[in-house]
Chains A and B, each alone.
Chain A
Amino acid sequence: MPNRSSLDQELASLRGLIADMANRVDEQFAGAMNALLQGDVNLAEQVVAADDAIDALELRIDQQCERILALHAPVAVDLRMLIMAVKINTDFERIGDHCRNLSRNARHLADAPGLLNQTRLPKMADMSRTMLREAEMAFLENDRLKARKVIARDLQVNRLHEETFETLVGMCEDGHEQAEVIAHLLTVSKSLERISDHAKNVAQSVVFMVEGRDLRHRGVQDDEDPSTNFPSLDEPSTGEFTQKT
């Protein structure tokens, strides 16, 4: 039988660490996108430098998960919380890596400041950041419906990525003189698409924790449940990055 008060303290501490991680990653994302949009190389370097702190936090969260698993042998919702924590910890750290990669493109994009705004990348960044923030809120509030909205939104980011890809390839085919910048924009698009994937993963983990239902890889699961249909999208994204354009 778990020592409930001790386990509750450990779990609260873990949640606090994950919330800290989510906040830091969110700030990194904002910094990375602003660096790209404004061609701010100094800001980009700050984002790259701050990634070490996120890596360190990932290790600390994993240690806390290991400690709870070893000392408390949690079951049921507590066990699902631990499984979720390990997974979303990795997702947040990977988002941090993508933010670092995004920032490394800033110097190259500074050579063609208007090109980025001719693409759907600012819109992609808006939607990805909305997904990240909503996934974080879903985690903090144990809100499975909010999590499911995040999951649904990923399809839109994927479509924007495909659209951006076609636009950029078209520019190259038309003999655009900034081919190198276009190549960097392709990596930016891919990073944004991957960030939204990780935000979706976080949301899926939240649903797993709350409902005990695994939403991943539905095609290969044999217990397809019609109740897992996603709600329609009716909430706009923040528009933070598109407003700046």
Chain B
Amino acid sequence: MSTNEPTDDAPPSPPAPSPASADEATPDARPQSTRDDTPPADASPSAEPSVEPKLNIDDLHFWYSDNHALQGITMDVQPNKVTALIGPSGCGKSTLLRCLNRMNELIQGTTLEGTILVDGQDIYAEDTDPVMVRRRVGMVFQKPNPFPKTIYKNVAWGAEINGYTGDVDALVERSLRQAALWDEVKDQLHTSALNLSGGQQQRLCIARTLAVQPDVVLMDEPASALDPIATSKVEETITELKKDYTIVIVTHNMQQASRISDETAFLYMGRLVEMNPTDELFTRPEKDRTEAYVTGRFG
């Protein structure tokens, strides 16, 4: 068990998260009753035997002070797939997401147990640098949060601060192209990022995350603040990105999860109820509780 104290080694990118929102803090640490659909020890879907998971999460527990927010999560995330985390407010999905790049340890009084491996490496091992973890596992937040600088500077900043010695112009173009924004901004790279629309700003934030060349991209409701057209563009971008990256996305929008993800994990009260290929989870969920949630009967 490691208890996290406040730390000074703030990550270069992305910006520090806001403290845990109230709706993510499970009011009661433990479920009130034993459910008949208690998840199996490993609810992960069977994967191709030849493909090593990108992320292994094993018996992960997480506390906000006394609040037991994650209670024994065990799951694998496959490489070059989009994995969606769904569940009602307070189920722990954003907490789980933030555990995947050690963002939660920036919050005072939190405790974590269990292991998270990225490519087999324990990201919570004592000799693992959290800054390196966050470089390998990037994050895109709910609201677009570009820096009040030019579009170019927004993308180049993370790489430059990390001592990138390559061709920064090429890096900026490649990152913007991967984020499907290049064609829209290539003639205004040196204008303020704040002039962009909300959807463009969010894709800029995706480009900024990609510029530090992560393996995994975490997205916390990346389209919830966007209109349908901007949402569609971000979703198309996500679908394109999985060719090169492993993506884990938290979403309250069930249709978005079903549209863009390959696998979906349903969390409830800090536990993983079911994880299955998305088309199965939304057509023939294994657990009654999953079916009740995806059909809107509770939550």
Taking beta carbons and an 8 Å cutoff, which residues of A are in contact with B?
1-4, 7, 73-80, 212
Contacts and interface: CB of A to CB of B under 8 A. Distances in A.
A75 B284 contact: no
B209 to A, nearest CB: 28
Contacts of B258: 75
B232 interface: no
A77 B282 CA distance: 9
A133 to B, nearest CB: 29
A192 B252 CA distance: 51
A76 B284 contact: yes
Given A1-B299, A7-B296, A76 B285 contact: yes
A24 to B, nearest CB: 30
A132 B296 CA distance: 33
A80 B283 contact: yes
B299 A75 contact: no
A84 to B, nearest CB: 13
Interface in B266-299: 282-285, 291, 294-297, 299
Contact of B283 (A1, A4, A73, A212): A212
A1 B295 CA distance: 7
Given A80-B283, A212-B283, A73 B255 contact: yes
Interface in B42-69: none
Given A1-B252, A80-B283, 8 more contacts: A3-B296, A7-B296, A76-B284, A76-B291, A76-B294, A79-B282, A212-B283, A212-B284
Nearest to B253: A1
B226 interface: no
B295 to A, nearest CB: 5
17 contacts: A1-B252, A1-B296, A1-B299, A2-B296, A3-B296, A4-B295, A4-B297, A74-B295, A75-B254, A75-B258, A75-B282, A75-B294, A76-B282, A76-B294, A79-B282, A212-B283, A212-B284
| Chain B, interface residues (CB within 8 Å), range | 10 to 19
Contacts of A74: 295
B290 to A, nearest CB: 8
A48 B255 CA distance: 45
B127 to A, nearest CB: 44
A80 B283 CA distance: 7
Given A3-B296, A4-B296, A76 B283 contact: yes
| Residue picked from A73, A75, A77, most chain B C-beta under 10 Å | A75
Given A212-B283, A212-B284, A76 B295 contact: yes
A74 B282 CA distance: 9
Contacts of A2: 295-296
Nearest to B281: A76
A75 B297 contact: no
Nearest to A6: B296
Nearest to A1: B296
A119 to B, nearest CB: 44
B254 A77 contact: no
| Shortest Cβ-Cβ A-B pairs, 10 listed | A212-B284, A2-B296, A4-B296, A75-B282, A76-B291, A1-B296, A75-B294, A76-B295, A78-B295, A76-B294
A5 B295 CA distance: 11
Nearest to A7: B296
Nearest to B252: A1
B298 to A, nearest CB: 9
A4 to B, nearest CB: 5
Nearest to B254: A1
A64 to B, nearest CB: 18
Nearest to A73: B255
A79 B283 contact: yes
Contacts of B291: 76-77
A2 B294 CA distance: 8
Contacts of A1: 252, 254, 296, 299
Contacts of A79: 282-283
Interface string B226-267: 000000000000000000000000001011001000000000
A4 B285 CA distance: 18
